[in-house]
Structure 1
Amino acid sequence: MNRLPAELIVEIIHTIEHQPTLAGAAQVCKLWNSLATPLLYRIPKFGSSLSFQSFLRTVSENSTLGDIVREVDLLSSPWPRWLVVDSQTITTLGKGCPQLTYLDLEGCTALRDKGIVSLAENCPGLQYLSLSECDKVSDEGMLAIATHCIQLRILELKAMPMVSDLSVEELALNCTFLESVALAGTRVTDRSVTELIERAQRLAYLDLSLCYNVVDLDKIMEEKPEHLEIVIDTMPTGSADWEETDWEGDDWDGEWDGEWDEDEDGMDFENDEGWPNVHFSVDLDI
């Protein structure tokens, strides 16, 4: 294997998409580790909640690996993230992966403001953030995002009824790089929407579906810049019900207890592989 040209080894490593195979490749030798580790950790994928928990432990213990991570997409994960991902989980993720630029937490309904505040403080380089359907996150969490994550370009806040003008006005003031914002199903009014359009000069897409407190939409549409697309039909009527819904029962506090039944019918808990916490002392060009 050592006789193979370095260029060929690079090509071989870069064709590997299967995460466990990449993890195995990282254990072969120093050269393979230096090539496989950035691919493994830069955009990690999690086949189960156990894999995700193993990943969190690894980046918590090894800052070199955590610094490689750039993108985490929990929306595409095949396990029930809404039961597993709470404020403590996101706090651990933010502290362990401070270089995150992309984070999709859509549907993580156990999240609370405490976790979002910690995330904002630890990951100021976020450029893409989706909190859609994280309906317990309020202006408190979003104000922290607006204060710390000023490089945001895409922000998804669909079906978040506790987000109001206070959040959007602060985003308009600080996050001047915003290009796409989804506010569908929030409590924003004409005031903050107008300010966002005026201040965010790069804004090209704005979703105001089911924003019932925006009353003069015709005026907003008439005065908006030509390059800005405003949509009002991305959510079906009735999907932004402001009534409180007790999904978990009166005794549930919104935080996962750290235990999960792996034998739950209908769930696929394969790929429970651990994340390798072995990293040779080599310079990584990532």
Structure 2
Amino acid sequence: MDYPAVGDWVLASFYDDNTLAIIHEILPRKSLLKRKTPGKKVDFQLIAANIDVAFIVQSLNENFNLRRLERYLVMVNEASIQPVVLLSKSDLLDDAEIAIRIAEIQSIAPQVEVLPLSSENGSGLDSINVMMQPGQTYCLLGSSGVGKTTLLNTLIGKEKYTTKTVSSKESKGRHATTHRQLIRLDSGAMIVDTPGMRELGNFSAAKGVEETFSEITALSKQCRFSDCSHVGEKGCAVLAAVEQGTLPADRYENYLKMTRESAFNEMSYFEKRKKDKQFAKHCKSVMKQKNRK
């Protein structure tokens, strides 16, 4: 995490008509958006730094998924970034269906603003433009095919970036954006476009989980045991809420899954760091012995 990320402010020297630069220092970050590296490797992958508002984009078709949205909210809340949910392709549903989707999101994230939009007919775009303030940095998060690149082109005002269609066979988007980049808009706001994320693992995300599942956090304070795991203990207020139907079972299961995943990845990461340090220490000792001979 000592390396620069998109959105970092740095002290740098430029040479040869600005064709070469040397970064001397990264200035303190006010936020850092990160996730687990995709695949089996347990490490951090930096997504962007110094983000003020994260636009989490879900399309109002097959892509709409509350459990996936919870994962994005954990990542964003962990970084203390303001989340805003954008529901793209609103032209595909009528107002009543859109209202149902918004209510579903507000049932799990009542404090988060939700805006439906359509790059096809332009609805909702004015609200996003008004929201984006000069000097503030925003980012677009979401799976491939939800319309992030189309929205970016609309905000820029021209077809600058290539878009790709959703696969009709698998209903999965294909990556139009292949790398992260920061773009300065004419309004003075800055926006970071990110590649679509099919794998979104979190670790060291206890704060993000606590904020995203705030009602479970509140219920846990009513459990009989302070170290309740909310799995099989007697007097567990969380399990009681699931049994009574006041806490949806799929939300509860996602909470357990993400809590375990975050703890396991964190333990694995620090175990790896410990072994790396021990190995480095061993190598240093061997080299010292060799030099003595």
With the shorter chain as reference, the TM-score category is under 0.3
Q: Comparing both structures, which one devotes a greater share of its residues to strand?
A: 2
TM-score using structure 2 length = 0.26
TM-score using structure 1 length = 0.26
